[in-house]
Amino acid sequence: MTVSVSPLPTAHLRQLSEQVGFELVGFARAEPIPSEVLLDWLAAGCAADMDWMGERAAERLDVSRLLPGAKTVLSFVTNYYRDDAQAADSPIARYARGRDYHSTLRDKLKAFRKRFSLAYPEVKHYGCVDSGPLMEKVWAARAGLGYVGKNGCFITEPFGSWVLLATLILDAEVDVFADGPSADRCGHCRKCIMSCPTGALLGQGRVDARACLSYQTIENRHGEVPESFRVEMDNLIFGCDICQDVCPLNRHPVLTSNERFAPRAVAGLGVMEIAALTPEQYAELVPGTALARARYDGLRRNAAYALGASKRVEARPLLARLCDDPCAPVRHAAQWALRQLDSVSP
């Protein structure tokens, strides 16, 4: 049964959002997403082996499958940009240097939902941070918080693309809905497309995950990274920020004071140190960060590739040791990296 309530005041919801620490919130009508937005991308194979993207495609395209009677989608933005000196040369992408962003955003969303339920007990809601079957960038765009740039990232006016998203569906209307995405500010710029080392940006914000180093370093945990991509992994072990770093709209980042994004000790390590991590060091440094998704062997495999890509001759003894590692992808990565070193110093 759908409960009928008068439109909720967005001014009050904005207050609640601010109280729990979100930087921006916007409101979109919970209308279905045109199916080609997702289905064409899946059909072209751009999801690589992320089968979970297709498995719940129907829900991704229609939020009323997640919350019957859905009327409104709230999109929340959190700025995560920091420039702490200890992580200045980190091979880990910015969003993953601190505490796992999933828990940081989930805690804020939980706090919002708690306050919301106290004020509007009759309204049902469904929340998502990253892993839920929702298209979060589409909702952020519809909610008027920015637009999807050619680099495939959601770009806001105040914070550029250095933001993470959280989403909440309500079965009630609000008093004011956004008009849709803000104006595209990319214009004729193509810097991100030209700078992507693996040609993963296909234009119009489309990303081919198969070619994206973010996918290869995080999601491709079991296999091996194609050779033509490994050579681009110099100082890049988890995620990739190249197409955001070059973006002129990211030139004036706003620093966040949120300590949960402060780099953890693991973000102070260099590639050699990550390649040499013992299971004990991994257990001490990685749990509680987003890096845990790549797992112990995935991080070391990526670090071995990065050593090969940078042709670090001083890494030879470490790589020789990793050639005997019990994990096959780590072993193969170390063997490949040694061959790269041989090409500069036999």
Asked if 306 touches ligand SF4 (CB under 6 A), the answer is no
- The three-class DSSP label of residue 56 is coil
Asked if 262 touches ligand B12 (CB under 6 A), the answer is no
Applying CB under 6 A, among 114, 190, 222, 321 the residue interacting with ligand SF4 is 190
Q: Which does 165 bind (CB under 5 to 8 A by kind): ligand B12, ligand SF4, none?
A: ligand B12
Residue 175 appears among annotated catalytic residues: no
Q: Which does 129 bind (CB under 5 to 8 A by kind): ligand B12, ligand SF4, none?
A: ligand B12
Using CA atoms, how far apart are residues 113 and 116, in angstroms rounded to an integer?
Answer: 5
Q: How far is the CB of 153 from ligand SF4 (least distance, A)?
A: 7
Site string for ligand SF4, 202-221 (x = CB under 6 A): -----x----xxx-------
Applying CB under 6 A, among 37, 58, 283, 313 the residue interacting with ligand B12 is 37
Q: Between 127 and 146, whose beta carbon lies closer to ligand SF4?
A: 146
Residue the block writes with tokens 């289905």: 39
Are 276 and 130 spatial neighbours (Cβ–Cβ below 8 Å)? Answer: no
Applying CB under 6 A, among 16, 129, 200, 267 the residue interacting with ligand SF4 is 200
List the structure tokens of 173. 């209307």
Query: Which residue from 180, 170, 202, 117 is spatially nearest to 2, judged by alpha carbons?
Result: 170
Q: Which does 138 bind (CB under 5 to 8 A by kind): ligand B12, ligand SF4, none?
A: ligand B12
Provide, for the chain, the percentages of residues in helix, strand and coil under a 3-state DSSP scheme, each rounded to the nearest 5: 45, 10, 45
Applying CB under 6 A, among 7, 9, 226, 248 the residue interacting with ligand SF4 is 248
Applying CB under 6 A, among 8, 30, 38, 266 the residue interacting with ligand B12 is 38
Q: Which does 139 bind (CB under 5 to 8 A by kind): ligand SF4, ligand B12, none?
A: none
| Long-range contacts, stretch 215-220, CB < 8 angstroms, 24+ apart | 215/48, 215/50, 217/294, 217/298, 217/302, 218/293, 218/294, 218/298, 219/48, 219/49, 219/50, 219/293, 220/48, 220/49
Provide φ and ψ at 266, rounded to 5°. -65, -25
> What's the number of CA atoms in the CB half-sphere (13 Å) around residue 11?
0
- The three-class DSSP label of residue 123 is coil
Task: Note the residues at the interface with ligand B12 (CB under 6 A).
Answer: 33-34, 37-38, 41, 50, 53, 93, 95, 129-130, 134-138, 141-142, 148, 151-154, 161, 163-165, 181, 205-207, 209, 212, 214-215, 219, 239-241, 243
User: What residues are annotated to the active site?
Assistant: 130
